[in-house]
Structure 1
Amino acid sequence: MSTQSVFTLVNPHTGNLAFKIFSFEDNRHFDHLQRHNYYSLIWVKEGSGKLKSDFSEYDFSGNTLFAFSLYQPFMLCTENISGVAIQFHPDFFCIHKHHSEVACNGVLFNNIYQPPFTLIDETSSLAFEMLYEQMQSEMQNPALAQNELLVSYLKIFLIKASRLKNEQTANYKTTLSELKEPFILQNLKDSIESNFKVKHSPSDYAEDLNISAKALAKITKTYFNKTLTDLIAERIVIEAKRELYLTNKTVKEIAFELGYDDEYYFSRFFKNNADVSPQLFRETVGFGRSMN
């Protein structure tokens, strides 16, 4: 096997990173704040530490798979970790367009209600290892229809990871059902999903659920490790990113659909939460183009 550990495909039309895989033996790749215009899957095989992502912090240990979406901020605080990473631009494979095939959007990626990682068991570890080796082999010896084959391996990887995450979420829900507030939590999620385009304030949701704002804030922070304001903002930004990528609507149109009459206020809100303007997001992430 080659000693090379980094393999990269570049989109010849845009110059953007299209697909990249690499192995790592330390934390130098992830020891500073990351915000990328592509998706990142980071499989920490060995080591432990702390993940800082969005507005939260999480402890992690070995055999953990992290999944980060477009411009999602993250940093791994640790010394000794090793593993592999897979990164891909939406032009190479768009999880929105292929949602019916891989169903990873809202499970692995853009899941504001669960931590952005999945625990890898021994059986899954063997399957992921094999898929990674197949990707590496294809990157080392490119041949006819290389992109199509890499996308196929990537799809299988995403499907297996999404299934595993769903199993762990189901177990989490079972644990949650033993707590005092499961109905409030589920009702809050349902309410955010139904109303985030029109209700932007935590007090709107407290009123909707017939609970005091203070009590709801405490429950939200306890079980989601985020404030309600953060949850609502994340949900709005995820929808805005989706519209910016999949449609040719103007920023003003997207802002209006998300309940903002002032395009400039919305652009500031988006930049504060995504660390990039709506215009720059569209320029760097793409515009519904797809290589596959």
Structure 2
Amino acid sequence: MNDAAAVFESNHKKLSLISFNSGTINLINEGALQYYIKVLFVPAGYTLTVDFNRYETQQATLFFVNSNQYLQVDVAGEEDAFLINYNRDFYCIQIHDEEVACDGLLFNNIFEIPKVDLFAAELDVISMLFKQVRDELSLQDSSSEEMIRIYLKQIIIRATRTWKKQNLENEKVHMQGVDQDFLRNFGRLVDIHYREKHAVADYAAMLHLAPKTLTQKFHKLNLESPNEFIKNRIILEAKRLLLYTGLSIKEIAFKLGYDDPAYFNRLFTQKCLTSPASFRRKISE
């Protein structure tokens, strides 16, 4: 790829493809891409932090990062990696299938696993799709927008299938489609309401279940309790607010639905083994 970035922009719709390596990771880390949805195609030998979890690539890997999620490329290699970033106007309208939309399984799953490992034939196909996106961006034809969207959707569909095989079809977690739909629905509700609803009973009611039944469903699937999942989502947002905003700890507590900042402080410290103030200081450094 000759240029570091190729861009499509029309009205409010925007998508770009950026190539980067050890010499140009500032293109990814400078913060300008925070509000875009991102798909990264990364070779072996890279280390990334996504929402404060660290990943080292042992082979080519796809990462899926939603807008406002924390992303940092910590270690890059000599071989180029590629990032497609786009806004919701480009690809995220209601008619898109929920599972492959911008807030679908890859970008918002209950396991908080944002990556897909690529092997053999699947690696060849994904490489070709990224090349086709690059070629369309270079062409800038009147039909390029729709062609790019088709290639992007193919990447997401193929990666979704592979993600399921890698994460839902193993000895520890084996789920039928009904279980997957149930968990996606629960995760979606938590993502919408976590700021004002902190109790398992709130979500059980929205799912027309007894709180005990909801907890038992998680137990049967060898998952953390729904109560822990709700707390984890709250703490994740707290970390993002500590990083991205200048809000005080008290203001963050109120924003996340806690009238007692001291209780929020204790919850954060219990889950993260450090206080909110110490976390902010460390992540800023």
Whether TM-score is above 0.5 comes out as yes
Q: 2:71 aligns with which of 55, 69, 74?
A: 74
Q: Give the match for residue 208 of structure 1.
A: 211
SS in 2 for 1:87: strand
CA contact (8 A) 1:220 1:227 kept: no
User: Counterpart of 2:127 in structure 1: which amino acid?
Assistant: E
CA distance in 2, matches of 1:268, 1:39: 24
- What is the aligned partner in structure 1 of residue 62 from structure 2? 65
Question: CA offsets, 1:201-260, max 9 Å, x none?
Answer: 357589934999xxx9xx977x99x8641235779xxxxxxxxxxxxxxxxxxxxxxxxx
Given the superposition, is the C-alpha separation of residues 148 and 59 from structure 1 closer, same or farther in structure 2, using an over 3 Å criterion?
A: closer
Q: Matched residue of 1:43: which SS?
A: strand
The residue number in structure 2 matching 1:129 is 127
**What's 2:9 paired with?**
10
Q: CA contact under 8 A between 1:32 and 1:76: conserved in structure 2?
A: no
Provide the residue aligned with 2:241 in structure 1. Answer: none
**SS in structure 2 opposite 1:84?**
strand
CA contact (8 A) 2:234 2:256 kept: no
SS at 2:141 equivalent: coil
Residues 49/144 of structure 1: CA separation in 2 closer, same or farther (3 Å cut): closer
Q: 1:25 aligns with which of 12, 21, 30?
A: 21
Cα distance in 1 for partners of 2:130, 2:8 equals: 15
Please tell me whether residue 229 in structure 1 is matched to residue 231 in structure 2. yes
Question: What is the match of residue 159 of structure 1?
Answer: 157
Are residues 1:175 and 2:172 paired? yes
Q: Find the aligned partners of 2:72 and 2:60 in 1 and give their Cα distance.
A: 17
CA deviation string 1:37-64 (max 9, x = no partner):
22100111131324241xx413321311
What is the RMSD computed on CA atoms of the aligned residues?
Answer: 4.2
Query: Which structure's relative contact order is higher, taking Cα pairs within 8 Å and 6+ residues apart?
Result: 1
Displacement, 1:160?
Answer: 1.0
Q: Distance in 2 between matches of 1:195 and 1:25?
A: 38
SS at match of 1:30: helix
- Conservation of the 8 A alpha-carbon contact between 1:220 and 1:228: no
For residues 97 and 144 of structure 1, the distance between their equivalents in structure 2, rounded to whole angstroms, comes to 23
Distance in structure 2 (CA, Å) of the matches to 1:156 and 1:79? 26
Give the unaligned 5+ runs of structure 1: 178-184, 236-263, 271-292
8 Å Cα contact 2:7/2:16 also seen in 1: yes
Deviations 1:71-95 (Å, cap 9, x if unpaired)?
1222122243631111111111116
Paired letter, 1:230:
N
Aligned residue for 1:138? 136
Do the aligned residues in 2 keep the contact of 1:43 with 1:66 (CA within 8 Å)?
yes
- Other structure's SS at 1:46 match: coil
What SS does the corresponding residue of 1:66 show, helix, strand or coil? strand
Structure-2-length-normalised TM-score:
0.61
The CA deviation at 1:9 is: 1.6
Shift of 1:31: 4.1
Deviations, residues 247-288 of structure 1 (Å, cap 9, x unaligned)? xxxxxxxxxxxxxxxxx9999339xxxxxxxxxxxxxxxxxx
Unaligned runs of 5+ in 2: 205-209, 238-250, 258-285
Which residue identity lines up with residue 76 of structure 1 in the other structure?
V
Give the Cα–Cα distance (whole angstroms) in 2 for the partners of residues 122 and 90 of structure 1.
Answer: 31
Equivalent residue, structure 2, for 1:286: none
Deviation at 1:106, TM superposition (A): 3.0
SS of residue matched to 1:136 = helix
